A = this chain, B = another copy of it.
Amino acid sequence: MPATMQDIARDLKVSVVTVSKVLRNQGRISDDTRKRVLRRAKELNYQMNWVARSLVTRRTYTIGLLLPEFAHPFFAEIARAVAQTIRPHGYHVVISSFEEDPELEASEIDSLLARQVDGLIIASSQAPSHLNVFKRVQERKTPYVLIDRPIAGLRASFVGVDNHAIGRLATEHLIAKGCCRIAHLRGPEVRIAAERMEGYRRALAKGGFRPESDYIVSGGHGDSSGYEGMRQLLAVRPLPDGVFCYNDPVAIGAMKAIREAGLKLPQDIAVVGAGNVRYSDVLSVPLTTIDQGTCRIGVLAAELLIARIGSKCPIRPQQILIPPKLVERESTRRLA
């Protein structure tokens, strides 16, 4: 039903190629013809059929964005940044979330490849032992950039935050604030969480503290696991006077538990989160957190990908680690 180049060409008694050239501003076309084509195109309300163009140019101007879940503010923010960064280049983003399910992730990657996306941005949940999907991506020579979660043993571009530094910054801050029994609500069994904990450990050691295993509680990445983790910590004696939480939601859950226990925040227990998620400054006790430059992750990943798509010869993988920044708020504002 919508007009095609053929319609324009027929009406004007020129060839389709001529129309195509005018519309792309390419090739030698007389001013007269150009104007007639343009006019007729406007009259017919012509819109390029991108599917047809993609078939021959092998470019869809579409990139796939694969996220564990995009209701999570962190990933939502990244999605926004990616979309805004690529739009000026004429790209669109096909988004998909796989709910932390590696198999679903793999099948979605294949699906996006079949749709001929020009590139992929992935916050992957694949175990380092299951990298077949990525082999398939590489065979196709579809550029891709990993974000947030690096994968050991995969030579791929990556944009993320320095998780080790997050743990270090948070812990050093708590030490500077005079805490001497610093606990850690760590995240799930993935690399990022391990790195943050390692940063915490190093900072503790450097500060002259001995790490108590009672002070480290494992959990997930939601506020409920933060809440439960904190309840567990509240049973430990002596009570910790500072907690570094895996991320902001966990910290928010932890703060709830602390309040419910009748303890004062930050006087009795100081809390540091990570992520600088929206609303973390609007809580009853605004949360001190480590900003991971969420927005920049999206922007940089997108720019990196676009650059790779643009260049013919494959550039060598590039790793970008964004240095985190401490954002001090009330949850650690105690007499130092």
Q: Does A111 contact B (CB under 8 A)?
A: yes
Partner of A283, one of B97, B110, B284: B284
Asked if A47 is at the interface of the complex by the 8 Å CB criterion, the answer is: yes
List of B residues within 8 angstroms of A92 by Cβ: 94, 96, 111-112, 115
A71-B253 contact, Cβ under 8 Å, with A45-B136, A80-B97, A95-B95: no
Q: Tell me the minimal C-beta distance from A8 to chain B in angstroms.
A: 15
Given A45-B136, A140-B2, A252-B279, A60 and B51 contact (CB-CB distance below 8 Å): yes
* A69 to B115 Cα, complex, angstroms: 25
Copies of chain A in the complex: 2
Q: Which residues of B contact A279 (CB under 8 A)?
A: 223, 249, 252, 279
Residues of B within 8 A of A79 (CB): 70-71, 95
A171 CB → nearest B CB, Å: 24
- A252 contacts which of B2, B95, B97, B282 (Cβ < 8 Å)? B282
A200-214 to B contact mask, C-beta < 8 Å, 1/0: 000000000000000
A105 at the interface (CB under 8 A from B): no
Specify which chain B residues have a CB less than 8 angstroms from the CB of A223 in the assembled complex. Answer: 279, 282
A256 contacts partner chain B, Cβ-Cβ < 8 Å: yes
- Quote the shortest CB–CB distance from A312 to chain B (angstroms): 14
Select A259's contact among B49, B62, B83, B284, beta carbons within 8 Å.
Answer: B284
Least distance between A82 CB and chain B CB atoms (Å): 10
Whether A77 is near chain B, meaning CB under 8 Å from some CB there, is: yes
Q: Does A76 count as interface, using CB distance less than 8 angstroms?
A: yes
B80 contacts A70, CB within 8 Å? yes
Interface mask (A76-96 → B, CB under 8 Å = 1, otherwise 0): 110110011001000011111
- Is A1 touching B140 in the complex (CB atoms < 8 A)? yes
CB < 8 Å: which of B94, B114, B249 contacts A47? Answer: B114
The answer to whether A278 has its CB under 8 Å from any CB of chain B is yes
A71–B60 CB distance below 8 A: no
CB distance from A15 to the nearest CB of B (A): 21
Give me the 9 closest cross-chain CB pairs, A-B, nearest first: A284-B284, A76-B76, A71-B80, A47-B114, A95-B95, A50-B115, A51-B54, A51-B116, A71-B76
Interface residues of A (CB under 8 A from B): 1-2, 45, 47-52, 54-55, 60, 62, 69-71, 73, 76-77, 79-80, 83-84, 87, 92-97, 110-116, 136, 139-141, 223, 249, 252-253, 256, 259, 278-279, 282-285
Given pairs A1-B139, A1-B140, 18 additional interface contacts (CB within 8 A):
A1-B141, A47-B110, A50-B115, A51-B51, A51-B60, A51-B116, A62-B94, A69-B80, A70-B76, A70-B83, A71-B73, A84-B97, A87-B96, A92-B111, A92-B112, A93-B96, A249-B279, A283-B284
